[in-house]
Structure 1
Amino acid sequence: MVDLPWSKQMLRLLCSVMFFVVFWPISAPLVLYASFLPFNSVKPALFYQFLLQSYNTGFNYANRNSSSEQKRMSLNQLLLIAGTISYTTCAGALPQIIINRLHVKSVPVQTFCRSILPIPLAAVLAFFNVMTVRSQEPDNGIQVFDSNGNSVGFSKAAGEKAVRETAVSRAALMGTAAAVPNLLVLFLLRFVQRNVILAASVRPVSVTLILSLMIPVSFSLFPQLAAKEELEAELQAAAVDGHLLYHRGL
């Protein structure tokens, strides 16, 4: 891993703080209501999933790298955003849809749908959301800079790397935020069956705590630089110290 100058390390720290301040206050209650609370019907599950996925989509679009894009949103971008929200909303409510439409009465199956299935679902939908909303970055390329901060051009390879790594970090964030609270509640319900209220109260506390811890971790998973061999041939000459910098987005 390349050592970043002190100023760039401070920039990463500042970006992590901004990510936490902007993302956490709204995402924490939305994740709790949309993904973890049991509902008796499909409509409230769809409603809270719509709020969560709309916020995630808007956040991903607002914090993308738009260095090579037009300033005004195109019709294709608008349709892509609407389609992403619609698809992820329906997919996120899939556990409740299965329970209601199939009239599931089995307690183990209900437990699987409410506590186990949301874990991979949250990670996959977070990954999919970033990849679709920011799909123009690999197509158009993003601006890259040398170690002195001078722009050297646009790179599609850097754009693909930035979007892929952001999607992986967001999947890690949402997957962990889904896994730890659900598995912890299952564990408590197994050994503290007489105090269901105590076990249930652990969920909102654990969701808040895990999101608080994972937001800076997920943002710091990947450095915002591309190695020389990962870049296009015409840009490799500019990577005199072996890498170029870019803004990965949040």
Structure 2
Amino acid sequence: MADAPPFTLDAPRYDQSTYYGRWKHFSELVAPSSFFVSDKTIDASKAIIDGYKSGVLPKGSVTNAELWDARRICETVFHPQTGEKLPLLFRMPAFVPVNIPICSGMVLAPPTLFNTIFWQWINQSYNAGFNYANRNASGVDDTTAIAKAYASAVLISCGASVGLGKAVEHASFLGASARLALARTVPFVAVAAAGAGNAVFMRLKELTDGIDVMDDEGVARGRSQNAGKQSLTQVAMTRVALPMPILLFPPFILEAMKKVNALPKNRIGRVVTEISVVTLCIWGAFPAAIALFPQYGTIAATDLEPQYQSLTNSKGERVTHFTYNKGI
């Protein structure tokens, strides 16, 4: 890390205008190694960043690499708007380890009615918590709305999974191999539909009440429903893309390995291989999906409500673009 660029809090380390830059940014944030960061390290990192912000950090006492590392830790632990510490299991580095048993259950467990409902329920429960913890925190929380959103997502997920599974099972006009291939896509379709619905339902107030938008100087200028709509659209698209490699790839990879005799014959070796394939797919999919859009989105003033289209900054210059926190 000797070649670390000069530190700043004004922009991420990597260029967020490119997909590769966003992928690098999120790959560092979701690295499972950050899951095991101690409270002592978290407190030390926060002290470094707070000292940098206030200007009391002695010049040269901390390297650029150490400053970037401290910022990375703070961004994985604290909510960017509220500053509150996120629950451990809902931090970005926890996503991969938590999803290993969940996705393994959805992909590898026998497709019985109980297994289907159980693993879809577990998955949507975790997604709901993750979505809520990493939401845009502009609005006031509504417990009743959150409960309805969670119930809706679970119903969509379980209903789609069971319904599609039965439909494929009774599709007698298809050959056995075609039904098997379609059956392997059922978990993805159910999770993608429910994932998008989960994100929208859990954050519906961003549509009705709007989200905070900041001008080119980082000053909050109000809340916009149009920005909330763009933000949630991007989140929903991410939720559709995320499960694609996680739930679609493993069954076909494992089947290909089986055909070339690359899958271990003994039970323990086979299970380890299956879980390893699922883990690698999750690890690769998460940063690839959330990098589709920047965490801090940009929207033109002309795409916002009329009251934002003629605002000026402190220099008297017209504000042509605003930013907002999309969340994860």
Please name the residue that 2:259 is paired with.
Answer: 190
Shift of 1:95: 5.3
Structure with greater contact order relative to length (CA < 8 Å, sep ≥ 6): 1
Q: Which residue of 1 is the match for residue 245 of structure 2?
A: 176
Give the equivalent residue in structure 2 for 1:147: 216
Q: d(CA) in 2 for partners of 1:155 and 1:172? A: 26
Q: Which moved more, 1:215-224 or 1:52-61?
A: 215-224
Q: Residue 229 of structure 2 is aligned with which of 152, 160, 166?
A: 160
Comparing 6-15 with 83-92, which one deviates more in the overlay? 6-15
Tell me whether 1:51 sits opposite 2:122 in the alignment.
yes
**Count of equivalent residues:** 242
Query: If the length of structure 1 is used for normalisation, what is the TM-score?
Result: 0.81
Matched residue, 1:30: 102
TM value normalised by structure 2: 0.63
Look up the match of 1:42. Answer: 113
Structure 2: gaps spanning 5 or more residues: 1-7, 15-21, 31-75, 77-90, 313-317
- Which moves more between the two structures, 127-136 or 16-25? 16-25
* Match for residue 231 of structure 1 among 304, 307, 318: 304
Identity across aligned pairs (percent)? 23
State the shift of 1:21 in Å: 0.7
Corresponding residue for 1:204? 275
**Counterpart pick for 1:7 among 6, 10, 29:** 10
1:220 aligns with 2:291: yes
Q: Which structure carries more helix by proportion?
A: 1
Distance (Å, rounded) in 2 between the aligned partners of 1:194 and 1:203: 9
- Decide whether aligned partners of structure 1 residues 139 and 192 sit closer, same or farther in structure 2, where only a CA change above 3 A counts: same
Distance 1:170 1:78 in 2: 20
Residues 233-248 of structure 1 aligned to structure 2 (within 5 Å):
233-238=306-311, 240=318, 242-248=320-326
CA distance change for structure 1 residues 156 and 38 in 2, over 3 Å: closer, same or farther? same
Report the 3-state secondary structure (helix = DSSP H, G, I; strand = E; otherwise coil) of the residue aligned with 2:10. Answer: helix
Partner AA of 1:237 in structure 2: S
Separation in structure 1 between the aligned mates of residue 290 and residue 308 of structure 2, nearest angstrom = 26
Which range moved further: 162-171 or 16-25? 16-25
Which ranges of structure 1 fall in alignment gaps of 5 or more residues? Answer: none
1:20 alignment partner in structure 2: 92
Q: Which has the larger radius of gyration?
A: 2
C-alpha displacement of 1:184: 1.3
* CA shift in 2, pair 1:123/1:80, >3 Å: closer
Q: Given that residues 153 and 201 in structure 2 are in contact (C-alpha distance below 8 angstroms), is that contact kept between their aligned partners in structure 1?
A: yes
Contact 1:61 1:133 in 2 (8 A): yes
1:43-88: CA deviation from partner (whole Å, max 9, x where unpaired): 12211211111111221122221312x2452x23322322222332
The whole-number CA distance in structure 1 between the counterparts of 2:194 and 2:211 is: 24
Q: 1:237 to 1:203 in 2, by over 3 A?
A: farther
Give the drift of 1:193: 8.8
